[in-house]
Amino acid sequence: MSDVVDSENCEDYEVLLFENHTSLVQKIKQNFESALKDSIQSIIISVSGQQSSDIFHIIVGGKYCNQQWFEEGKECKLLKLGAKEWQPGKVRIKVTLEFCPDELEEVEFQEEEKIDEMDKVAKSLDDIRQKLNQETK
């Protein structure tokens, strides 16, 4: 299982109940990941050629999920390991768009250079103070 789909407040081995259908959290995550990967080509085409409202429509209006999953959440119950009863709640899907800059290493290098320059300036100031202290004695 990749890290494309993550879960909060529930573990892979716990069970979700939707009306009269149960499923492991892990299985639901696998199904969502598969659906995302199946739909990604149409999403990318929409991003590159159309407006963003069309992207949302493809994801939400597609075969796999309706808008309720993304907004208020889908009513369900969770059975946690060791619990004596089902915990009622909702499952909601959140999609994260992650930006990974190419120049991260260069920025870190520039920051290190600035720190080195500040150290040199501080040493120069220390040298000047020492000379002044020696002259005043």
Collapse the DSSP code of 54 into the 3-class scheme (helix H, G, I; strand E, B; otherwise coil) and give the result: helix
**Dihedral of CA 34/37/38/42: which sign?**
positive
Q: Where is pLDDT greater, at 65 or 41? A: 41
pTM of the model: 0.56
Kindly list the strands in the beta sheet with 21-24, ordered across the sheet, starting from the edge strand earlier in the chain. Answer: 21-24, 15-18, 74-79, 87-91
- pLDDT tens, position by position, 52-111: 554 444 444 444 456 787 888 889 999 999 999 999 999 988 878 788 888 766 666 677
